[in-house]
Amino acid sequence: MSNKLQNSLAIGARIWYNLVIKTDARKTAFSAKGWDETMDKMFSLAKAYEKYFKIGAAVASHNIAGYSDVLSQHFNSITPENEMKYSETEPEEGKFTFDKADVIFGTARKMGIKVRAHAPVWHNQTGGWMYRDGDKPAPPELICERIAAHSKAICERYNNDVYAWDVVNEACRDDAPAADSGESTVYRNSEYFKLCGTKFIEAAFRAMDKNSPDAQLFYNDYNECVPEKRERIIALIQNLRDKGCRIDGFGMQQHYFAKPDYDELKRSIEAYSSLGLRIHITELDISLMATVNDGEKRLKPGDPGFREYISEVMKPTPEKLAEIGNIYTNLFEVYRSYSDVIDCVTTWGVADDYTWLDHFGTNEDMPKIKQYPLLFDEEHKPKPCVSELIGAAGK
């Protein structure tokens, strides 16, 4: 079917939906399943949001083939979940392995879209070799040289297919103990930071600027709407700028484990964008936890009664699953209202059959709990909130 015809059908169906079906009668007259099947053929989240921002998803080399239908219908950006990290691309110094990343880039080429690449320099998923020089700790210059060599290799291979890089991930600390002062109140006390202060961040941005001059360069972090952490992130970005490094955008991860504070979200988008940065929502997903936890102190693994508590909190009742949809609807309303500064909204995963949250935090104290944090269900069908999001985009 031609694009034009498909668009006209989609617009017609959307008008029909808004006029006729989006009433309470819909709930009784149409089963969710019957409606979804119609919607499936007519609607595309990515097309509906073209005038606002890209719709992205994190994918893995082992699941991307199974998602080809939903990806090509609803998404126009993809991010390798792990395949561009050091542990996958350079497990030993100078030994590059691109097989897994190639699977993702190959699919992107077939889909005719570019990749949002993530995240070479991160304190996790990086081989210990980075921090060693024989039997001694690596000096800062060596770490910076290694970062530059890695940047050259990944850019030579993938530059034509990448529109944005998360150059450095999660280099800010979450809390600043009162005893600390200076830089250590801002930066995570990672191996990188212990060995070379902030030099590794500058080295990463300088190298990517040199090797990937046409792509946008991002710093990416979580808890980015918590006021104290936001200040640290801003300090990191300003520091980078003061050193003369190019940084084009900030990646707001948006993993939700507690109910969103929409006012802080707005304040954060405004604070980051007022630095002249483009904003990408980079890792959006909504834990069942976010339907009940409004930020009050909660039990942690190891606390007495934790297993019972967490099993209760994570019970996927119909109300909680509907609440996840409501949260998506509310978040997208905010994102749309800042579409002059937001260029991409990426969910951390495609559909509920594969989500990192099913494994996050699991240990002997933590029962394995199935989560439903994404926009598409375990059969890759759009959840009801996807119709809402598409409808809202057309208003």
What are the φ/ψ torsions at residue 157 (nearest 5 degrees)? Answer: -80, -40
DSSP helix/strand/coil, 238: helix
Tokens of 13: 């169906």
Closest to ligand GLA by CB, 36 or 283: 283
> 283 catalytic, yes or no?
yes
Q: Which of 10, 18, 5, 4 is nearest to 391 (CA)?
A: 18
- Half-sphere CA count of 34, side-chain side, radius 13 A: 7
Q: Least CB distance from residue 253 to ligand GLA, whole Å?
A: 5
- Least distance from C-beta 251 to ligand GLA, angstroms? 9
44 versus 371: smaller Cβ distance to ligand GLA:
371
The one catalytic residue among 81, 83, 202, 283: 283
Using CB atoms within 10 Å of the CB of residue 386, give its burial: 0 to 12 exposed, 13 to 18 middle, 19+ buried.
buried
- Which of residues 53 and 218 has its CB atom nearest to ligand GLA in the complex? 218
Q: For residue 145, indicate whether it is catalytic.
A: no
Which residues here bind ligand GLA, judged by CB under 6 A? 118-119, 169, 222, 253, 283, 356
Are the CB atoms for 307 and 299 separated by under 8 Å?
A: no
- What are the structure tokens assigned to 102, written together? 């190639």
**Strand, helix or coil for residue 165:** strand
Catalytic residue among 81, 170, 191, 202: 170
- Whether residue 312 contacts residue 376, with contact meaning beta carbons closer than 8 Å, is answered with no
Cβ proximity to ligand GLA, 138 vs 236, nearer residue: 236
- H or E element that contains 216: strand 216-221
- With vertex at residue 301, the alpha carbon angle to CA 300 and CA 303, rounded to the nearest 5 degrees, is 70
Q: Quote the CA–CA distance of 104 and 107 in Å, as a whole number.
A: 5
List, in sequence order, every residue forming a beta bridge with 281; answer none if it has no partner.
252, 345
User: Which is closer to ligand GLA, CB of 52 or CB of 165?
Assistant: 165
Q: How far is the CB of 316 from ligand GLA (least distance, A)?
A: 20
322 CB-near residues (< 8 Å, 6+ apart)? none
CB of 103 to ligand GLA, least distance (A): 17
392: left (phi over 0), alpha (psi -120 to 50) or beta: alpha
Minimum distance from CB of 186 to ligand GLA (Å)? Answer: 19
Q: How far is the CB of 371 from ligand GLA (least distance, A)?
A: 12
Nearest to ligand GLA by Cβ — which residue?
Answer: 356
Contacts with 28 (C-beta within 8 Å, 6 or more apart), sequence order: none
Smaller CB separation from ligand GLA, 212 or 253: 253
In the complex, minimum distance from the CB of residue 359 to ligand GLA, in angstroms, rounded to a whole number? 9
Of 169 and 346, the one with the shorter C-beta distance to ligand GLA is 169
Q: Which residues are catalytic?
A: 170, 283
